Amino acid sequence: MNSTYLGRLEYSDPLYEILFSHVCDNTRYPLFHVDRMSSSNVYKYTEENTHISIVGKFFKLNDTKIERVLRIKGEYDNLNKIRSYGFDVFPNYVVKPISKEERIGLALTEEFIDGKNLDYYLKKAIFNGKSEQLKDKLEKLADFLYVFHNRTGSDENFEIEPINYYFQKIINKLMKQTVISDNEKKYFLKLMDKWLNKEQFAYTKKSLVHGDATPTNFIFTESGHIVAIDLERMKNSDPAYDIGMVCGEIKHAFLWRTGNPYLSEPFIRHFLSNYTKHFHNPKKAFKEITQRNPFYMAMTELRIARNNYLHWEYRKRLVYEAEQCLKWGLKLL
Protein backbone atom coordinates (compact mmCIF):
# COMPACT_ATOMS: atom_id res chain seq x y z
CA MET A 1 0.00 0.00 0.00
CA ASN A 2 1.37 3.43 -0.93
CA SER A 3 1.93 5.88 1.90
CA THR A 4 3.46 9.32 2.49
CA TYR A 5 5.48 10.14 5.58
CA LEU A 6 4.17 13.28 7.28
CA GLY A 7 6.44 13.56 10.34
CA ARG A 8 5.81 13.18 14.07
CA LEU A 9 2.55 13.50 15.93
CA GLU A 10 2.55 16.57 18.18
CA TYR A 11 2.14 16.02 21.90
CA SER A 12 -0.60 18.66 21.87
CA ASP A 13 -2.66 16.76 19.29
CA PRO A 14 -5.80 15.31 20.98
CA LEU A 15 -5.10 12.04 19.20
CA TYR A 16 -1.83 11.68 21.12
CA GLU A 17 -3.54 10.76 24.39
CA ILE A 18 -5.78 8.27 22.62
CA LEU A 19 -2.85 6.48 21.02
CA PHE A 20 -0.79 6.72 24.20
CA SER A 21 -3.39 4.77 26.16
CA HIS A 22 -3.41 1.92 23.67
CA VAL A 23 0.16 1.27 22.60
CA CYS A 24 2.43 2.19 25.48
CA ASP A 25 3.66 -0.16 28.15
CA ASN A 26 6.95 1.06 29.57
CA THR A 27 7.48 3.92 27.15
CA ARG A 28 7.32 7.11 29.21
CA TYR A 29 7.21 9.56 26.33
CA PRO A 30 6.14 7.68 23.20
CA LEU A 31 6.95 9.18 19.83
CA PHE A 32 4.53 8.53 16.98
CA HIS A 33 5.53 8.74 13.33
CA VAL A 34 2.66 9.54 10.97
CA ASP A 35 2.09 8.20 7.45
CA ARG A 36 -0.82 9.11 5.23
CA MET A 37 -2.14 5.94 3.59
CA SER A 38 -3.43 5.80 0.02
CA SER A 39 -6.81 7.09 1.17
CA SER A 40 -6.85 10.77 2.13
CA ASN A 41 -8.65 10.15 5.44
CA VAL A 42 -6.58 7.17 6.63
CA TYR A 43 -3.32 7.47 8.60
CA LYS A 44 -0.86 5.08 10.20
CA TYR A 45 0.76 5.93 13.53
CA THR A 46 3.90 3.99 14.46
CA GLU A 47 5.46 4.28 17.91
CA GLU A 48 9.21 4.68 17.57
CA ASN A 49 10.35 2.41 20.42
CA THR A 50 7.77 -0.38 20.45
CA HIS A 51 7.19 -0.30 16.65
CA ILE A 52 3.49 -0.79 17.35
CA SER A 53 1.34 0.64 14.54
CA ILE A 54 -2.25 1.79 14.67
CA VAL A 55 -4.46 2.94 11.81
CA GLY A 56 -6.72 5.95 12.25
CA LYS A 57 -9.69 6.76 10.01
CA PHE A 58 -11.29 10.19 10.03
CA PHE A 59 -14.32 12.03 8.73
CA LYS A 60 -14.71 15.76 8.16
CA LEU A 61 -16.70 17.40 10.93
CA ASN A 62 -18.22 19.81 8.38
CA ASP A 63 -18.99 17.17 5.75
CA THR A 64 -22.47 17.82 4.36
CA LYS A 65 -22.79 14.36 2.80
CA ILE A 66 -24.59 12.69 5.68
CA GLU A 67 -24.77 9.28 4.01
CA ARG A 68 -20.99 9.14 3.67
CA VAL A 69 -20.38 10.36 7.22
CA LEU A 70 -22.75 7.78 8.71
CA ARG A 71 -21.08 5.04 6.66
CA ILE A 72 -17.61 5.98 7.89
CA LYS A 73 -18.78 6.32 11.48
CA GLY A 74 -20.44 2.91 11.29
CA GLU A 75 -17.29 0.90 10.60
CA TYR A 76 -16.33 0.63 14.28
CA ASP A 77 -19.63 -1.11 15.06
CA ASN A 78 -19.45 -3.18 11.87
CA LEU A 79 -16.06 -4.58 12.87
CA ASN A 80 -17.23 -5.48 16.37
CA LYS A 81 -20.35 -7.09 14.94
CA ILE A 82 -18.63 -9.33 12.42
CA ARG A 83 -15.86 -10.29 14.85
CA SER A 84 -18.58 -11.54 17.22
CA TYR A 85 -19.29 -14.25 14.62
CA GLY A 86 -15.85 -15.75 15.21
CA PHE A 87 -13.78 -13.59 12.90
CA ASP A 88 -11.53 -12.55 15.78
CA VAL A 89 -9.29 -15.60 15.35
CA PHE A 90 -7.22 -16.92 12.44
CA PRO A 91 -7.31 -18.25 9.75
CA ASN A 92 -10.38 -16.14 8.86
CA TYR A 93 -9.81 -12.83 10.55
CA VAL A 94 -11.26 -9.33 10.51
CA VAL A 95 -9.11 -6.43 11.66
CA LYS A 96 -9.50 -5.49 15.34
CA PRO A 97 -11.10 -2.10 16.15
CA ILE A 98 -9.61 -0.23 19.10
CA SER A 99 -11.47 3.00 19.72
CA LYS A 100 -13.26 5.99 18.23
CA GLU A 101 -13.64 9.63 19.20
CA GLU A 102 -16.20 11.39 17.06
CA ARG A 103 -15.70 14.79 18.73
CA ILE A 104 -12.38 15.11 16.86
CA GLY A 105 -13.60 13.41 13.70
CA LEU A 106 -11.96 10.09 14.55
CA ALA A 107 -14.26 7.39 13.23
CA LEU A 108 -12.02 4.52 14.17
CA THR A 109 -8.62 3.37 15.34
CA GLU A 110 -7.68 -0.21 14.53
CA GLU A 111 -4.69 -2.49 14.55
CA PHE A 112 -2.34 -2.30 11.58
CA ILE A 113 -2.04 -5.55 9.64
CA ASP A 114 1.25 -6.17 7.88
CA GLY A 115 1.13 -8.20 4.68
CA LYS A 116 0.44 -8.11 0.95
CA ASN A 117 -2.99 -7.37 -0.47
CA LEU A 118 -4.67 -9.24 -3.31
CA ASP A 119 -3.67 -6.59 -5.84
CA TYR A 120 -0.02 -7.43 -5.16
CA TYR A 121 -0.66 -11.03 -6.23
CA LEU A 122 -2.71 -9.95 -9.23
CA LYS A 123 0.25 -7.90 -10.47
CA LYS A 124 2.64 -10.78 -9.78
CA ALA A 125 0.49 -13.08 -11.91
CA ILE A 126 0.17 -10.54 -14.72
CA PHE A 127 3.77 -9.34 -14.90
CA ASN A 128 5.80 -12.17 -13.38
CA GLY A 129 3.88 -15.31 -14.33
CA LYS A 130 2.96 -16.15 -10.72
CA SER A 131 -0.40 -17.66 -11.66
CA GLU A 132 -0.36 -20.46 -9.07
CA GLN A 133 0.44 -17.99 -6.33
CA LEU A 134 -2.59 -15.91 -7.31
CA LYS A 135 -4.81 -18.97 -7.46
CA ASP A 136 -3.74 -19.90 -3.94
CA LYS A 137 -4.75 -16.46 -2.66
CA LEU A 138 -8.04 -16.57 -4.54
CA GLU A 139 -8.80 -19.94 -2.96
CA LYS A 140 -8.17 -18.48 0.50
CA LEU A 141 -10.39 -15.51 -0.33
CA ALA A 142 -13.15 -17.81 -1.60
CA ASP A 143 -12.94 -19.86 1.59
CA PHE A 144 -13.08 -16.70 3.70
CA LEU A 145 -16.12 -15.26 1.92
CA TYR A 146 -17.97 -18.57 2.10
CA VAL A 147 -17.47 -18.66 5.87
CA PHE A 148 -18.38 -14.96 6.11
CA HIS A 149 -21.65 -15.49 4.25
CA ASN A 150 -22.49 -18.84 5.80
CA ARG A 151 -22.05 -17.77 9.42
CA THR A 152 -24.16 -14.66 8.95
CA GLY A 153 -26.79 -16.16 6.66
CA SER A 154 -30.53 -15.77 7.17
CA ASP A 155 -33.71 -17.51 6.05
CA GLU A 156 -35.06 -14.14 4.92
CA ASN A 157 -34.85 -12.94 1.32
CA PHE A 158 -32.50 -10.04 0.66
CA GLU A 159 -33.97 -6.66 -0.25
CA ILE A 160 -33.56 -5.73 -3.91
CA GLU A 161 -34.28 -2.01 -3.50
CA PRO A 162 -30.82 -1.03 -2.13
CA ILE A 163 -29.21 -2.73 -5.14
CA ASN A 164 -31.56 -0.83 -7.43
CA TYR A 165 -30.66 2.43 -5.70
CA TYR A 166 -26.90 1.81 -5.84
CA PHE A 167 -26.93 0.80 -9.51
CA GLN A 168 -28.85 3.97 -10.39
CA LYS A 169 -26.44 6.04 -8.30
CA ILE A 170 -23.50 4.67 -10.30
CA ILE A 171 -25.25 5.28 -13.61
CA ASN A 172 -26.16 8.84 -12.66
CA LYS A 173 -22.55 9.56 -11.70
CA LEU A 174 -21.27 8.20 -15.01
CA MET A 175 -23.74 10.36 -16.90
CA LYS A 176 -22.74 13.42 -14.88
CA GLN A 177 -19.13 12.69 -15.78
CA THR A 178 -20.23 12.32 -19.46
CA VAL A 179 -18.81 8.80 -19.57
CA ILE A 180 -22.24 7.67 -20.77
CA SER A 181 -25.00 9.51 -22.64
CA ASP A 182 -28.62 9.94 -21.62
CA ASN A 183 -29.65 7.18 -24.05
CA GLU A 184 -27.00 4.87 -22.61
CA LYS A 185 -28.26 5.64 -19.12
CA LYS A 186 -31.80 4.66 -20.12
CA TYR A 187 -30.53 1.46 -21.72
CA PHE A 188 -28.54 0.45 -18.62
CA LEU A 189 -31.54 1.08 -16.39
CA LYS A 190 -33.67 -1.03 -18.70
CA LEU A 191 -31.14 -3.86 -18.40
CA MET A 192 -31.10 -3.43 -14.63
CA ASP A 193 -34.89 -3.77 -14.46
CA LYS A 194 -34.74 -6.99 -16.48
CA TRP A 195 -32.17 -8.42 -14.09
CA LEU A 196 -33.76 -7.44 -10.81
CA ASN A 197 -37.19 -8.67 -11.86
CA LYS A 198 -35.90 -12.18 -12.46
CA GLU A 199 -36.91 -15.04 -10.18
CA GLN A 200 -33.28 -15.74 -9.21
CA PHE A 201 -33.16 -12.45 -7.30
CA ALA A 202 -36.62 -12.68 -5.75
CA TYR A 203 -35.85 -15.77 -3.67
CA THR A 204 -32.21 -15.27 -2.74
CA LYS A 205 -31.51 -15.51 1.00
CA LYS A 206 -29.57 -12.69 2.60
CA SER A 207 -26.39 -12.66 4.64
CA LEU A 208 -23.93 -10.05 5.76
CA VAL A 209 -21.63 -9.02 2.92
CA HIS A 210 -18.31 -7.21 3.08
CA GLY A 211 -19.74 -4.66 0.67
CA ASP A 212 -16.42 -3.40 -0.69
CA ALA A 213 -14.65 -6.59 -1.75
CA THR A 214 -11.84 -4.92 -3.70
CA PRO A 215 -8.30 -6.37 -3.93
CA THR A 216 -6.83 -3.82 -1.50
CA ASN A 217 -9.27 -4.79 1.24
CA PHE A 218 -7.90 -8.30 1.78
CA ILE A 219 -4.46 -8.72 3.33
CA PHE A 220 -2.44 -11.94 3.29
CA THR A 221 0.02 -12.27 6.15
CA GLU A 222 3.40 -14.00 6.06
CA SER A 223 1.92 -16.88 8.05
CA GLY A 224 -0.61 -17.47 5.26
CA HIS A 225 -3.73 -16.09 6.92
CA ILE A 226 -6.23 -13.74 5.32
CA VAL A 227 -7.42 -10.55 6.99
CA ALA A 228 -10.36 -8.40 5.87
CA ILE A 229 -10.20 -4.64 6.34
CA ASP A 230 -12.39 -1.64 5.43
CA LEU A 231 -15.85 -2.89 6.38
CA GLU A 232 -17.61 0.47 6.43
CA ARG A 233 -19.93 -0.75 3.64
CA MET A 234 -20.87 -4.03 5.36
CA LYS A 235 -24.59 -4.75 5.18
CA ASN A 236 -27.19 -7.46 4.68
CA SER A 237 -27.55 -8.34 1.02
CA ASP A 238 -27.16 -11.04 -1.61
CA PRO A 239 -23.94 -13.02 -0.97
CA ALA A 240 -23.28 -12.84 -4.72
CA TYR A 241 -22.77 -9.09 -4.23
CA ASP A 242 -19.29 -9.82 -2.82
CA ILE A 243 -18.60 -12.63 -5.26
CA GLY A 244 -19.47 -10.54 -8.30
CA MET A 245 -17.37 -7.65 -7.04
CA VAL A 246 -14.30 -9.86 -6.66
CA CYS A 247 -14.86 -11.28 -10.16
CA GLY A 248 -15.32 -7.80 -11.62
CA GLU A 249 -12.14 -6.60 -9.93
CA ILE A 250 -10.18 -9.59 -11.27
CA LYS A 251 -11.38 -8.86 -14.78
CA HIS A 252 -10.51 -5.17 -14.40
CA ALA A 253 -7.01 -6.01 -13.11
CA PHE A 254 -6.20 -8.01 -16.25
CA LEU A 255 -8.03 -5.77 -18.72
CA TRP A 256 -6.42 -2.59 -17.37
CA ARG A 257 -2.90 -3.99 -17.37
CA THR A 258 -2.96 -6.19 -20.47
CA GLY A 259 -5.87 -5.01 -22.60
CA ASN A 260 -7.10 -8.61 -22.76
CA PRO A 261 -10.23 -9.39 -20.69
CA TYR A 262 -10.07 -13.11 -21.45
CA LEU A 263 -6.85 -13.63 -19.49
CA SER A 264 -8.85 -13.21 -16.29
CA GLU A 265 -11.32 -16.01 -17.01
CA PRO A 266 -9.32 -18.97 -15.57
CA PHE A 267 -8.84 -17.07 -12.32
CA ILE A 268 -12.49 -16.05 -12.09
CA ARG A 269 -13.59 -19.62 -12.62
CA HIS A 270 -11.05 -20.83 -10.06
CA PHE A 271 -12.41 -18.38 -7.51
CA LEU A 272 -16.03 -19.32 -8.19
CA SER A 273 -15.29 -23.04 -8.03
CA ASN A 274 -13.54 -22.69 -4.70
CA TYR A 275 -16.41 -20.67 -3.27
CA THR A 276 -19.12 -23.10 -4.37
CA LYS A 277 -17.17 -26.26 -3.43
CA HIS A 278 -18.26 -25.72 0.19
CA PHE A 279 -21.97 -26.16 -0.56
CA HIS A 280 -23.84 -29.44 -0.10
CA ASN A 281 -24.44 -29.50 -3.87
CA PRO A 282 -21.47 -27.61 -5.44
CA LYS A 283 -22.75 -28.01 -9.00
CA LYS A 284 -26.14 -26.50 -8.14
CA ALA A 285 -24.51 -23.72 -6.11
CA PHE A 286 -22.16 -22.90 -8.98
CA LYS A 287 -25.09 -22.59 -11.36
CA GLU A 288 -27.08 -20.37 -8.99
CA ILE A 289 -24.14 -18.07 -8.24
CA THR A 290 -23.07 -17.76 -11.87
CA GLN A 291 -26.62 -16.87 -12.88
CA ARG A 292 -26.50 -13.76 -10.67
CA ASN A 293 -22.79 -13.08 -10.95
CA PRO A 294 -22.83 -11.22 -14.32
CA PHE A 295 -25.07 -8.52 -12.89
CA TYR A 296 -22.76 -7.81 -9.97
CA MET A 297 -19.68 -8.06 -12.18
CA ALA A 298 -21.17 -5.47 -14.53
CA MET A 299 -22.12 -3.21 -11.63
CA THR A 300 -18.52 -3.44 -10.41
CA GLU A 301 -17.12 -2.53 -13.84
CA LEU A 302 -19.42 0.49 -13.96
CA ARG A 303 -18.39 1.41 -10.43
CA ILE A 304 -14.71 1.32 -11.41
CA ALA A 305 -15.43 3.39 -14.54
CA ARG A 306 -16.27 6.38 -12.32
CA ASN A 307 -12.60 6.79 -11.35
CA ASN A 308 -11.00 9.87 -12.89
CA TYR A 309 -7.47 8.49 -12.57
CA LEU A 310 -8.25 5.95 -15.29
CA HIS A 311 -7.71 6.86 -18.94
CA TRP A 312 -10.88 8.13 -20.61
CA GLU A 313 -10.92 5.46 -23.33
CA TYR A 314 -10.43 2.74 -20.75
CA ARG A 315 -13.39 4.01 -18.74
CA LYS A 316 -15.49 3.78 -21.91
CA ARG A 317 -14.16 0.24 -22.41
CA LEU A 318 -15.31 -0.73 -18.92
CA VAL A 319 -18.79 0.59 -19.73
CA TYR A 320 -18.80 -1.51 -22.91
CA GLU A 321 -17.67 -4.61 -21.01
CA ALA A 322 -20.40 -4.04 -18.41
CA GLU A 323 -23.04 -3.76 -21.11
CA GLN A 324 -21.87 -6.98 -22.75
CA CYS A 325 -21.80 -8.73 -19.38
CA LEU A 326 -25.38 -7.71 -18.62
CA LYS A 327 -26.68 -8.76 -22.04
CA TRP A 328 -24.79 -12.06 -22.05
CA GLY A 329 -25.82 -12.88 -18.51
CA LEU A 330 -29.51 -12.51 -19.27
CA LYS A 331 -29.19 -15.48 -21.61
CA LEU A 332 -28.23 -17.65 -18.63
CA LEU A 333 -31.44 -16.91 -16.73
Mean pLDDT of 14-22: 87
Average pLDDT, the chain: 94
Residues 187, 234 share a domain: yes
Residues 71, 28 share a domain: yes
CB 183 within 8 A of CB 280: no
Residues 223, 97 share a domain: no
Residues 131, 13 share a domain: no
User: pLDDT tier at 199 (50, 70, 90 boundaries)?
Assistant: confident
Rg of the Cα trace of the chain? 21
The tens digit of pLDDT for each residue in 121-164 reads 999 999 999 999 999 999 999 999 999 999 999 999 999 999 99
In Å, what is the CA distance from 294 to each residue of 108, 191, 272, 280, 328? 34, 12, 12, 23, 8
Residues 186, 85 share a domain: no
Q: Of 76, 111, 146, which residue is a domain's last?
A: 111
CA dihedral 93, 99, 104, 107 (to 10 degrees): 30
Residues 255, 148 share a domain: yes
Please name which of 303, 213, 215 lies closest in space to residue 254, comparing C-alpha atoms. 215
Residues 147, 8 share a domain: no
User: pLDDT tier at 280 (50, 70, 90 boundaries)?
Assistant: very high
CA distance 140 to 121: 13
Residue 36 host element (H or E): strand 32-37
Residues 261, 156 share a domain: yes
Q: Of 64, 92, 111, which residue is a domain's last?
A: 111
Residues 72, 43 share a domain: yes
Q: Of 57, 89, 111, which residue is a domain's last?
A: 111
The tens digit of pLDDT for each residue in 164-192 reads 999 999 999 999 999 999 999 999 999 99
Reported pTM: 0.95
CA distance 275 to 45: 36
Residues 205, 106 share a domain: no
Mean pLDDT of 21-47: 83
Question: Of the given ranges (34-48, 79-93, 245-259, 299-313), which has the lowest mean pLDDT?
Answer: 34-48
**Cα angle 290-293-299, degrees, rounded to a multiple of 5:** 165
Burial class (CB in 10 A: 0-12, 13-18, 19+), 4: exposed
CA dihedral 135, 140, 144, 150 (to 10 degrees): 70
Domain of residue 48 covers 3-111
Q: What CATH number does residue 314 fall under?
A: 3.90.1200.10
Q: What CATH number does residue 47 fall under?
A: 3.30.200
Residues 124, 34 share a domain: no
Give the β-pairing of 92-94 and 226-228.
Answer: parallel
Q: How many domains does the chain have?
A: 2
**What pLDDT, on a 0 to 100 scale, did the predictor assign at position 40?**
75
Residues 159, 120 share a domain: yes
